[in-house]
Amino acid sequence: MVMNNHFPEDLLLQILLWLPVISLSRFKCVCKSWYAFISDQTFIYKHLLHAQSPYPYHHHILELSTRARMYIVGSCNGLVCLHDSSSWNNTLLWNPATKETKVVPISNMPLLCADYDVVSLNGIGFGFDAKTHDYKIISHFHLYEPDPYLEQYSPIITYRSEVYSLRADSWRQIDSVNCHIWDSTRGMRTNQNGIGSWWASGDNDANWVGILSFDITKEVFLATPLPDISDIGYPFHKYQQYFLLNELVAFAISWKAIGEEGSRMWWDIWLLNEYGVTESWTKLFRVGPLTGVIRPLEYWMNDIIFWEKDDEQLALYDPSTKEMTNLQIEGESLSFQVITYMESLVSISGAN
């Protein structure tokens, strides 16, 4: 990069690393050498690492003009995957900082499974393959065919899975698993090690409820049943929830003491230390009693957790002070999503 003799290149690099993406995008117009420097994959990677440092958090409200039922499948390295639940073929990749977007190609599943009566998307996830430096989308499908004896009253269900590679810009089938994914349109929680997780239950002979995980690099599934919760009071299974806590899967269940009246609820928080090993669940702490909350959404820091309240508000709860802070963010009941996001210069077209 051509520089002024009085302005060292390494100093300019340190300055640019601190700037937000919107400023860097403008600086590309300064000259050809600046454009090349800011567009270089080495600089983009360094800027991404710098953005991952633990600096103060900010929140912004983004209102979409579309009336579609858009859900956030996941966020990784500044890229966001969106999915329209009204049609399982409507999936979009988006870098909010650079405003770059890409419509994901239509899945091959309808053509591959033309002999089935119904093909239904049962789960979707998004993550980064650190080994191949590729961004991937995983889709899990239900395939229905009528039972020849009971017809539509007892359909036979088959499962198929596909992976989309941004680098190859195409879908391909992978080995699937006989599991039903709950709340399927909301995507999966993916940690920095490339392991994504859904809330799921087994099918056929595998009678279990728990966490279904997917290794984005190895492209394999792993099931982990929930811990034994038989020792608590009266569990409200409607309000079981999972989220990521320090890059590990956390499971929360609400309950109240037997015979207790009113809406006061307790929450037990469990942590999964090893995927696939039921015995590795450990109970971390108990929150409560709480009133006016529906479910925990996501862990933030220092045991502070985002909660959805029954008045359709988003709030933060600090167990150490027992204070609930209303964030003045409203939404429809059971529609809230809390996703970790950071700005980056990562290009969707470059797939690096």
What is the spatial distance between Cα 25 and Cα 8, in angstroms, rounded to a whole number? 21
- Give the CA angle between residues 274, 296, 206 to the nearest 5°: 45
Residue at 196: amino acid letter: G
Classified as helix, coil or strand, 236 is strand
Given a contact cutoff of 8 angstroms between Cβ atoms, the answer to whether 183 and 120 are in contact is no
What is the spatial distance between Cα 44 and Cα 48, in angstroms, rounded to a whole number? 6
| pLDDT > 70: percent of the chain | 75
| pLDDT (tens digit per residue) in 208-220 | 889 999 999 999 9
State the pTM of this model.
0.77
| pLDDT (tens digit per residue) in 168-187 | 999 999 999 988 888 766 67
Given a contact cutoff of 8 angstroms between Cβ atoms, the answer to whether 190 and 213 are in contact is no
Given a contact cutoff of 8 angstroms between Cβ atoms, the answer to whether 265 and 291 are in contact is yes
pLDDT at 3: 46
| pLDDT (tens digit per residue) in 182-216 | 876 667 888 888 899 998 988 755 678 899 999 99
Lowest mean pLDDT among 44-58, 245-259, 271-285, 321-335: 44-58
Residue 135 has pLDDT above 90, yes or no: yes
Given a contact cutoff of 8 angstroms between Cβ atoms, the answer to whether 180 and 201 are in contact is yes
Residue 47: both structure tokens together: 């800027």
Specify which of 18-27, 109-118, 129-138, 225-234 reaches the highest per-range mean pLDDT.
129-138
